[in-house]
Amino acid sequence: MAHFSFQRGSQHMGSYRPDLQALLAPVVEDLGYELVGVEFHPHGRSGLLRVYIDGDAGVTVDDCARVSDQVSGTLDVEDPIRGHYRLEVSSPGLDRPLFVPAHFQRFAGRAARLQLRRPLGERPGTRLTGMLVGVEGEELVVEVDGQRLTIPMDEVAKARLIPEI
């Protein structure tokens, strides 16, 4: 198994916002849904706040609207984001984003696309496609081209499942 180490940074996976996840999880869960993840994409003076939800029976447009109303109220009261932004609530979709170690463990055995913060050792590029093996401590284990790699979770900028056909 190949092992790579990097300096640990303070950045979170992509635009993942654990602070907003903690704020909004009780609101979403009280409505009977799982809060999969929260991303914030700033764009100049405005931005996009994307909230992914899931449910036992999937997610409908009505479910998203219901969650959006409650989340919007919480955000208005707590005001955790400066400036203007658009709120988008959606299902995670077939190419489900993976945000936290529990997601990678839950979907072990599935194929995923990873965007890393920097290349792994001698491997060129920052994009990997491979099979999720699991999580060991704070490292993701993935099989790429027949080789097991361990990657510090802090080095994963984005990750999405590859839809099964």
Q: Which domains does the chain have, with CATH numbers?
A: 18-90 (3.30.300.70), 99-161 (2.30.30.100)
Q: What is the pLDDT of residue 44?
A: 81
Per residue in 43-93, pLDDT (tens digit) is: 888 899 999 999 999 999 999 999 999 999 999 999 999 889 999 999 999
Q: What is the pLDDT of residue 7?
A: 28
CA distances from 147 to 11, 34, 57, 68, 141 (A): 27, 33, 36, 42, 10
Above 90 in pLDDT, residue 143?
yes
Instruction: Determine the Cα–Cα distance for residues 147 and 51; give it in Å rounded to an integer.
Output: 34
Q: Which of 7-21, 28-42, 69-83, 87-101 has the lowest mean pLDDT?
A: 7-21
Above 80 in pLDDT, residue 12?
no
Instruction: Determine the Cα–Cα distance for residues 35 and 22; give it in Å rounded to an integer.
Output: 10
Across the chain, mean pLDDT equals 89
16 pLDDT band (50/70/90 cuts)? confident
Instruction: Determine the Cα–Cα distance for residues 93 and 23; give it in Å rounded to an integer.
Output: 23
Q: What is the pLDDT of residue 1?
A: 39
- SS3 state at 145: coil
